[in-house]
Amino acid sequence: MILKIELRRTRDFSAKINATLEFVKQNLSPLAKGLIFISGPFFLLQGLFNGFYQKQILSTGLSSNPLAIFSSEAISWLGISMVFSVFGYMSSLIVITEFMRLYEIRENPEAIDLSEIWEGVKQHLVKMIGVGILVAIILTFATIILIIPGIYLSIVLSLIVPIIIIEGKSFGEAFNRCFTLISEKWWSTCGLIIVTSIIAGVMALIFTIPQYVFTFLIGSHKISNVSAEPALWEQVGLVISSMLYTFGGSLLRSIVVIAVIFQYYNLVERKESRGLLSKVESFGKPEEPKPAHDETY
C-alpha cells in the first residue's frame, strides 16, 4: 500500500509545489485513467471541431479574406468546440477534486475505483457547469467595469470547486467561503497558479509541435497559391494534431487544479485546523483493525 500524502496540513509555497508534483507522480495511473476515460472524449471532440475550424480558416486563406474567421461555417465549428471544451474542463475539475476527496477519506487510496469517480461526475456535472457559467458572468462583468477586479476575483473563485464538492456547499455559501479562506493569502494563491501554469505550459509544448508543423505547411501553400486547396493529408494532419494538442494540454492542466486543491486544504488548515483537531480527537482511541485484503467499493 502506498504511503499517503497528508492533504490537511499547512504548507509553505515550495512545499505546495513539491506536494503537487509528488501527488501527480504517486497517483498518475488512476488520475490519468479517470481523465482519459471520463473527460477524454470531450477533449478529443473539442480538438476535432477546433481542427475543423482551423482547417476552414486556413483553407479559405486569411491573406485573401481576413474575415474568414467570421464565416458561418467557421463560427459553427468554433462554437461546437467551445461547448465540448466546457464539458471537458468541468468534468476534469470534478474528476480531480472527487479523486482527492476520496483519497483523503480512504485508508487505501489504491482501492479508489473509476466507477466511484464517475458517480461523482454524474452527480456534480450539471451543477458545476451552472457554477462555471455564473463564475464566467461574474468575472466578465468585473473585468468590463475594471480589469483589476476581474483578475482578483478569478484567483478568489479558483477555490469554489473544491469547496462545493469536498464540503458540499451551495454556490452562495461557497462564494462567500472563497473570500474567507483566501483573505491575506491572495498573492500566494496567485503565485501558485502562475508557477504551476508555467510548469504545465512548458510540458505541453511538445503537443504543440505537430500542430505548428501542419499549420505552417498549409499556410505556406496558401502564400504560394491562394486559390490552391490544401492536400488531404495536410488537412487530416491538422485536425489530428489539434486533437492531440487539446487532449495533451488538457491532461497537463490537471497539475494546476491539484495545486489549487492543495492550497484549499492549506487555507482550511490555517483558518480552522481541522486536520489537527481530528488528530487530537482520535488521540488515545484504539486503532481500528485494517482489512487483511483490499476492499472493493
pLDDT digits (tens, 9 = 90+) for 198-248: 999 999 888 888 888 887 877 776 666 666 667 777 778 888 888 888 888
Give backbone dihedrals phi and psi of 5, rounded to 5 degrees, phi first: -85, 130
Q: How confident is the model at residue 48 (pLDDT cuts 50, 70, 90)?
A: confident
123: in domain: yes
164: in domain: yes
Full-model pTM: 0.83
114-156 residue pLDDT tens: 999 999 999 999 999 999 999 999 999 988 887 888 899 999 9
Taking the CA atoms of 6, 10, 15 and 19 in sequence, report the sign of the dihedral they define. Answer: positive
Q: Name the domain count of the chain.
A: 1
Is 265 a residue whose pLDDT tops 50?
Answer: yes
- Structural domain range at position 57: 38-275
207: in domain: yes
Is 99 a residue whose pLDDT tops 80?
Answer: yes
Contact 155, 186 (CB under 8 A): yes
2: in domain: no
156: in domain: yes
Better-scored residue on pLDDT, 229 or 267: 267
282: in domain: no
253: in domain: yes
Average pLDDT of the segment spanning 259-270: 95
